[in-house]
Structure 1
Amino acid sequence: MTTKNINSHRTAKEREKMSYPTRLLLEKKLIRGKSLDFGCGLGKDVEELKAKGMDITGYDPHYFPDYPDKTFDTILCHYVLNVLQSQEQARVLYQISKLLKFGGKAYFSVRREITKAGFRTHFVHKVQTYQTNVILPFESIFKNDNLEIYEYQHYCYLNQNKPEVSPFFERLEPKEQVGELASCFAFRDKFPVSEGHTLVIPKRKVSDYFELSFREQSACWFLINLIKADLQDRFNPDGFNIGINIGEAGGQSIPHVHIHIIPRYTGDVKHPRGGVRGVIPGKKEY
């Protein structure tokens, strides 16, 4: 039985004209500024939009593999998530959240006629390809029997000055958001103990980590893995501390779950041995 989704690129269509989702967004004048077609397939939409004078770049890991090195005002992502398994979907959401300018908008188009998730033989290529239904926690701006389009903006941008959403938004500088998944987000700690100190926070406002569902906990840890890889690439730390403060006795000062990712560097303290045991200084050495 096929378990790895190695043929996702086989679902890309060789189009003779612009895709329906792009035409809709173009008619609504929602494609603005520097734009990116993420998962552009064979690139027909990019070609057509460039012909109209638009500033658009295409990226596809199989057909246009040069990963973007800048951020964008508008990002299109058509029919990509439907051919990816859950962890791959999460990675795409994370990548797009990082490629989008603060205040920019991304549009996720998903198919709506898929009734059963799983692998099936592609009718053209005769290989096993994966398809699944996708529902996103973002604003739906168009829907019919075959298609739904979601509009995405950074969670921090949408919730500026809304302490009722999270106490972090009382004093957060939203430009510091560094990643997002469907149910959690991340930003740099405003009072870092080391370079790159980052917080991962579930979107649901609860104070106790153990009140989160297993699904929410798993999403946080998946985001931590992605953030860690970025921190390693950017700052090249020599180690990490990962920690959660739970309750006043545990040192928690903000009543919304947050997980600290603290990069560590050789020589940043005289005696690092013991690490997180140092929350009770007299017990650090052993």
Structure 2
Amino acid sequence: MANQNINSHRTAKEREKMSFPTKFLLGENLIEGNVLDFGCGYGKDVEELKVKGFEVEGYDPHYQPNYPKQKYDTILCHYVLNVLQNQDQAKVLYQISSLLKFGGKAYFSVRRDIKKASFRTHFIHKVKTYQTNVILPFKSIFRNDNVEIYEYQHYSFLNQNKSEVSPFFEKLEPKEQVGELASCFAFRDKFPVSEGHTLVIPKRQVSSYFELSFREQSACWFLVNLIKADLQKEFNPDGFNIGINVDEAAGQTIFHCHIHIIPRYKNDVENPRGGVRGVIPGKKEY
């Protein structure tokens, strides 16, 4: 189909020298510790950074597909988001958030010379490739007519102990953040019902799920799906309960909207029949 973005890897350039964003970050002494180039393409920046003595790895789903197995102090992501559609952009944000050390920094470089989202024929490869403009809600550290560079750190790192941002920052250990998108983030529950119990929380502080915009709700559910997949890999549960408490009568105790993802395991209760109906015990069995 014409609208399937199957040629995004075709936009990778075979560079003869280091990319401008990496060169800029080097000049500002912003690359430190162990480094990941996420979406590295042919890997020229990785090669050049290694020559300069950096401990660096490259990952690219097409050219270097071995997914990283550790966390990094610095992650580079240059010109990746511009060639992806919305859901794939969100997945990349989630992956980089998950691969970044607490307190580390990621740098997203996006093109600024794209006028509108569209599929167009690549001038070299003669196949349809997608390109779009991207605006991120992170700190911008450089911009010209061709590129903008954003600096990202975990939402929980930037806002730790700030109860005015969310009451959760009084209750949860910031290092327990396990995922993030542009408008929501995820924490392990401080008092878990089961192993892996996780909360998905919108960044905008509202009490009720029904106060969120449809876009915010959609982002939360997209993050729920990503978290569920990771929980399945890590804990291999036999089922899940997904729930939201809205208002005190429904059991809400922290009045910043959040979605519970509760992994379930065989024989974790004597009779699981009825599931979430158990919020009113007498109505659980039917």
Normalising by the residue count of structure 2, what TM-score does the alignment of the two structures yield?
0.99
Q: Secondary structure at the match of 1:40?
A: coil
Aligned to 2:164: 164
1:179 aligns with 2:179: yes
Q: Secondary structure at the match of 2:249?
A: helix
Task: Give, in whole Å, the separation in 2 of the partners of 1:84 and 1:210.
Answer: 30
What is the Cα deviation at residue 171 of structure 1?
2.0
Aligned to 1:67: 67
Aligned to 2:217: 217
Identity across matched positions, percent: 81
1:232 aligns with 2:229: no
Aligned to 1:146: 146
What is the Cα deviation at residue 204 of structure 1?
0.1
Aligned to 1:261: 261
Aligned to 2:89: 89
Q: Aligned runs of 1:113-152 on 2, under 5 Å?
A: 113-152=113-152
What is the Cα deviation at residue 116 of structure 1?
1.1
1:195 aligns with 2:225: no
Aligned to 1:245: 245
Gaps (5+ residues) in structure 2? none
Aligned to 1:103: 103
Q: Secondary structure at the match of 1:246?
A: coil
Aligned to 2:2: 2
The one-letter code of the counterpart of 1:94 is: Y
Task: Give, in whole Å, the separation in 2 of the partners of 1:150 and 1:196.
Answer: 31
The one-letter code of the counterpart of 1:96 is: I
Q: Secondary structure at the match of 2:255?
A: coil
| Offset from partner CA, 1:47-89 (integer Å, 9 cap, x none) | 0010011111000011111110000000000000000000000
Task: Give, in whole Å, the separation in 1 of the partners of 2:17 and 2:44.
Answer: 7
Q: CA RMSD in A?
A: 0.5
Aligned to 1:18: 18
| Offset from partner CA, 1:24-68 (integer Å, 9 cap, x none) | 000000000000000000000000010011111000011111110
Structure 1 runs (4+) greater than 2 angstroms displaced: none
Q: Secondary structure at the match of 1:179?
A: strand
| Offset from partner CA, 1:179-213 (integer Å, 9 cap, x none) | 00000000100000000000000000000100000
The one-letter code of the counterpart of 1:155 is: Y
The one-letter code of the counterpart of 1:272 is: P
What is the Cα deviation at residue 172 of structure 1?
1.4
What is the Cα deviation at residue 218 of structure 1?
0.2
Aligned to 1:77: 77
